[in-house]
Structure 1
């Protein structure tokens, strides 16, 4: 049985770091730049012995990070979670089952306060078509903030090659929007390297990648991408939007030089 995320209170105000903590994060980010993802994962588990979580989108970065933690003998030291928006592809949920079969993994299921029916009654049907930013806030950003309020750090699969909004993402920084340290072991990893790892290790992956989906989100808001297009152009196609908000602080993702 998957654990259920909180369904009631509004997200608390994010915690602010003290200056010494920020300075330490900057130093460690500089030191870890260029290191292998496995080394960064080992560092994370050592430095955050409790309250460390891994955000799992069931995408290619997530499955590789899970396999790496498994190979390092560290998977049990990290709480893996996913955001269940109620709108995930069946192919995405199939990866969840494959990870359970392979690693015995039971990721924590983090849900929105509102069911899809409740959201439709309050905001109208198919909110993602009329106001995708609000829909993402209700179904992703707010549930994530509630979940992370009790954590010390989280690991993501963010990569710089994902698009212009992520081009300078650091391997480590303070996540001001959620009030904790954020660790991005895959930031500098090339997509070809990820696929080599997946095929070499026979890691389960989302079948939608083989159908022209380089970036996979909620089913109503994701389309295949033509060769040469930005990898995230298939997300919210036709909208002036390429980020759901969970990796955005203000209007752009913070960079290593921003001090956050």
Structure 2
């Protein structure tokens, strides 16, 4: 059986709609909690897929949260191996940082549902199937595009929303994995952030309800296209 390791920082910021897709494709999914599990003792290199998920801290907060240093080490090892790696929000920022790119505060929060604007390269990528379907944005930091990476998408508030490295690395600032049917967990878990940003959770709830069917289908199509690519380009290593 193929294996997928997912590093998470909050229980509700999980694999979302990606998890049942991975299960259907024969992956055994295991979560690692960055805040409590010792990443130095886990053989992350053996996984067929490594996913680094989001969280409400910054990619440069390792002086405050030392476990970020261990995450960066895991990501660097994965990048050197050229094996499949997916980063979402904080995970994407950590990948950018590991590749030597800048990560910094935008000075504003981008929170809500909005479509991506794809670059020409993005139009030729697995993200093309998203079309104009709005996806969830929930961040206040942004990454620069690393040297050698390909910029795939942006939004008016954040020019760099996605990049790829070859076929094996995909970094998404947006939360394409987020299940709109589970938005209440986000609204409660991030209630203080919403209040500080002056965002009404009722508006987010309404938008999520309108996307309950279309967003999971679009996300599944995009992730399916990417998994097809990496499984073709990165065959499993012999046991």
Larger radius of gyration: 1
More strand by share: 2
The structure with higher relative contact order (CA 8 Å, sep 6+) is 1
Same fold (TM over 0.5): no
In the superposition, the TM-score normalised over structure 2's length comes to: 0.31
